[in-house]
Amino acid sequence: MWPCVVSSFSRRLVASLGVCGRRKCCGTAAFMPEAPAFEGVRSRSELRDFSVSDSERFWAAVGNQRLSWISPFHTVQDCDLTQGRIKWFEGGKLNVSVNCLDRHVHTSPDRVALIWERDEQGSEVKYTYRELLEMTCRLGNVLRRRGVKRGDCVTIYMPTCPLAVAAMLACARIGAAHNVVFAGFSADALAERIRDAESNTVITVNQGVRGGKFTELKKTVDEAVQSCPSVQQVLVAMRTDTPVVMTARDVAMEEEMLKEDVVCEPAVMNSEDVLFLLYTSGSTGKPKGIVHTQAGYLLYAALTHRYVFSYHDGDVFGCVADIGWITGHSYTVYGPLANGGTTVLFESTPIYPDPGRYWNTVERLKINQFYGAPTAIRLLLKYGDHWVTKYDRSTLKTLGSVGEPINTEAWEWYHRVVGDGRCPVVDTWWQTETGGICIAPRPSEPDAEIVPGMAMRPFFGIKPVLMDTEGKVLTSNNTSGALCMAQPWPGMARTIRNNHQRFIETYYQPYPGYFFTGDGAYRSAQGYYQITGRLDDVINVSGHRIGTAEIEDNQCSAVAESAVIGFSHDIKGEGVYAFVVLKKNIDIKEDDLSRQLNKMVSKKIAKYACPDVIQLANRLPKTRSGKIMRRVLRKVVERDLDGLGDLSTLDDPTAVQEIVEGHNKNSAQRALK
Ligand code: 6R9
């Protein structure tokens, strides 16, 4: 007992004095100031072990240290994975916007919070913490005055821009939840999300600008709200000078903001009040409104941002994800702002005005950490190295990848060309449901190896396990299985909006006592994790999840039935392959059918969900009970006819032969085009 107490005491003393005879101990204290209080922790790997074996003490210390509380929490966690019950930091009261803004305004009001990298290259605009706080407060006051209450949910349909960040934080300020919908979604998809969230207020802009093209976002909202009886008002900000028709329901947002005070009393929120909903695709047709709450989410976003990317005060963090996705929430907005960082809001595309856009931005804004998606890396590497090398990238310290597996070629190029071989590349695995990064090569010992294309190491407090098909935990290395998490962490999702039962069924029933991710993974001989892909019917197109059922739901009048699968695609990672059975006596040209289907899918969902390949079929392979055997379709498209597996349940075996022949014909035709 004694030596432990003494050493823990002396470590604390040492940490506070900042001097130490033992290099490792001092290193750990400098690495994480909370560490000296953890017994027996002398290295980063011991710190990781402690965070898992005594996760409650770990999160208590970090939670106390890194969030500003109005009143402290009394219970670190109350979680039961067998029930899907997750609660963190109960009793605690705080305001997320105060954590992201006010506390930094007190210490460094003129520090830059946001750099808005507008679509027009070279026209960036900077906002200090003071300015962002003022903007947030004015908007918070507008919302409050116009009747938005604590517990309401505001839908935000905006491009990545400072007012969108202010809108998210203004909701947090007054205790309303936000529901950001990616501004590439169609009116139908937006309407479905507004209805499910029961929003009374929508915030949008007149027009979006991306890649030099204008999109009529306000018009899309007009169309969407026609089928949303809950909506009472639409706040419209002006991204361009083009006026839009305003109805009695619409409010000129900037004009209203100018009338308001720059002070807005923050709502006192409980740790477990809802912070936001974010809709994501699952294997059935209806998107899931994933719910995240205040304290646990914010803490997890902040800690992962700090340690995975090795973010330090004064760094410029460049996450190029859209705020409509979870990556934009956690690593463009909440993580960096909670840490008092400077974060880039990237409004454009990787190839506008040319394929040097990212690296031009890195040079101009002096970005230190760059975080992007493999799909963009794969696209850019095809344009050649000169688009990268012509720009100064010497500020870069860490490169990150997210959204889908990064293949070795893309990884090597990112590392060698973009990072000049000197920046660690962190392949970060996580999900909308996990709130923040769960597996990534860093943090680790400073020079620990990084294996290309592998997420590798679990983050603090994360305990991954692999399961076999019978639901048994696989304990050995060099093995593959279903990726589950054996222990709760503060950033994990709390429920699915309006459907807690679906939450339990999707994540907690498949492997009782564990959180099931829906992904498969391989654990190497060294114990490193590599994600192998989804195990359910979710396709990952350019890092964006889309359920096969969502696409199949969109049938045009000529179609009797369809089956959609993902297939390996050079740039997008996965493409959408649709098998379509036409109704009897329908005569339609394939080009016309493809145009009709694309129109339908872009109207119902979004452009990115449109099929890349359409194959006509007379019938689909089905089981005797009528279930489409997608496994068979996948194998046909992968040209793995030996791997078709057990076909004994197939209703009519000749259907497979037809599909194979159709696929060969289709591929031959495409090769000729
Ligand atoms: C953050 C985000 C989650 C799904 C996830 C997995 C895939 C994400 C990955 C990855 C391999 C990585 N995914 N990161 N696969 N390596 N580094 O993308 O969230 O949109 O919810 O998607 O994306 O399949 O389950 P989300």
Per-residue pLDDT, averaged over 603-623, amounts to 92
Model pLDDT, residue 654: 87
What residue owns the CA closest to ligand 1's atom 17? 429
Please give the distance, rounded to the nearest whole angstrom, from the Cα atom of residue 428 to the centre of ligand 1. 8
Please give the distance, rounded to the nearest whole angstrom, from the Cα atom of residue 471 to the centre of ligand 1. 23
pLDDT in tens, 563-609: 999 999 999 999 999 999 998 888 888 889 999 999 999 999 999 99
Residue 186, CA distances (Å) to 76, 224, 244, 287 in order: 41, 8, 19, 14
Model pLDDT, residue 617: 92
How high is the mean pLDDT of the chain? 93
Global pTM value? 0.92
The pLDDT confidence band at residue 158, using thresholds 50, 70 and 90, is: very high
Give every CB contact of residue 156 below 8 A, 6+ residues apart in sequence: 164, 167, 168, 171, 178, 179, 180, 181, 202, 203, 204
Among 212, 239, 261, 245, CA closest to 157: 239
Angle between helices 187-197 and 590-604 (to 10 degrees): 30
pLDDT in tens, 61-88: 999 999 999 999 999 999 999 999 999 9
Neighbours of 254 (CB within 10 A): 15
What residue owns the CA closest to ligand 1's atom 22? 431
- The one-character DSSP state at 506 is I
3-state secondary structure 298-330: HHHHHHHHHHHCCCCCCCEEEECCCCCCHHHHH
| Residue 5 pLDDT > 90 | no
The pLDDT confidence band at residue 627, using thresholds 50, 70 and 90, is: confident
Ligand 1: which of 429, 454, 517, 544 to mutate, most ligand atoms within 8 Å of CB?
429
Per-residue pLDDT, averaged over 500-521, amounts to 97
3-state helix, strand, coil in the chain (%, to 5): 35, 25, 40
Q: Which two tokens stand for residue 284?
A: 């059935």
Coil, strand or helix at 11? helix
Does ligand 1 lie within 6 Å of residue 280's CB atom? yes
Residue 605, CA distances (Å) to 50, 187, 203, 217, 497 in order: 44, 8, 20, 15, 20
| Residue 172 pLDDT > 60 | yes
| Residue 19 pLDDT > 70 | no
Please give the distance, rounded to the nearest whole angstrom, from the Cα atom of residue 516 to the centre of ligand 1. 14
Residue 416: half-sphere exposure toward Cβ, Cα within 13 Å: 10
Model pLDDT, residue 182: 97
Contact 362, 393 (CB under 8 A): yes
Does ligand 1 lie within 6 Å of residue 405's CB atom? yes
Please give the distance, rounded to the nearest whole angstrom, from the Cα atom of residue 375 to the centre of ligand 1. 12
Ligand 1: which of 517, 531, 537, 544 to mutate, most ligand atoms within 8 Å of CB?
531
Model pLDDT, residue 649: 79
Instruction: Give the whole-angstrom CA distance, residue 326 versus residue 289.
Output: 12
Q: State the residue for tokens 């114990």.
A: 527
The pLDDT confidence band at residue 8, using thresholds 50, 70 and 90, is: very low
- The one-character DSSP state at 2 is H
Model pLDDT, residue 472: 97
| Residue 285 pLDDT > 80 | no
Model pLDDT, residue 669: 82
Compute φ and ψ for 86, nearest 5 degrees. Answer: -135, 115
- From the number of C-beta atoms within 10 Å of its C-beta (0-12, 13-18, 19+), residue 84 rates as buried
Angle between helices 162-174 and 129-145 (to 10 degrees): 60
Model pLDDT, residue 231: 98
Please give the distance, rounded to the nearest whole angstrom, from the Cα atom of residue 403 to the centre of ligand 1. 4
Instruction: Give the whole-angstrom CA distance, residue 518 versus residue 576.
Output: 19
What residue owns the CA closest to ligand 1's atom 19? 431
Compute φ and ψ for 156, nearest 5 degrees. Answer: -115, 120
| Residue 351 pLDDT > 80 | yes
Q: Which two tokens stand for residue 401?
A: 């990848």
Q: Which two tokens stand for residue 374?
A: 């493999």
pLDDT in tens, 448-504: 999 999 999 999 999 999 999 999 999 999 999 999 999 999 999 999 999 999 999
- From the number of C-beta atoms within 10 Å of its C-beta (0-12, 13-18, 19+), residue 350 rates as buried
| Residue 21 pLDDT > 60 | no
Does ligand 1 lie within 6 Å of residue 322's CB atom? no
Q: Is the peptide bond before 443 cis (omega within 30 degrees of 0)?
A: yes
Model pLDDT, residue 18: 34
Model pLDDT, residue 120: 98
pLDDT in tens, 34-46: 999 999 999 999 9
Instruction: Give the whole-angstrom CA distance, residue 11 versus residue 179.
Output: 45
Give every CB contact of residue 484 below 8 A, 6+ residues apart in sequence: 464, 465, 466, 467, 511, 514, 515, 516, 517
Model pLDDT, residue 506: 96
Model pLDDT, residue 192: 97
What residue owns the CA closest to ligand 1's atom 8? 403
Does ligand 1 lie within 6 Å of residue 531's CB atom? yes
The pLDDT confidence band at residue 347, using thresholds 50, 70 and 90, is: very high
Neighbours of 263 (CB within 10 A): 11
Model pLDDT, residue 11: 39
Neighbours of 551 (CB within 10 A): 25
Among 189-198, 274-283, 307-316, the range scoring the smallest mean pLDDT is: 274-283
Model pLDDT, residue 643: 87
The residues facing 355 across adjacent strands are none
Please give the distance, rounded to the nearest whole angstrom, from the Cα atom of residue 105 to the centre of ligand 1. 34
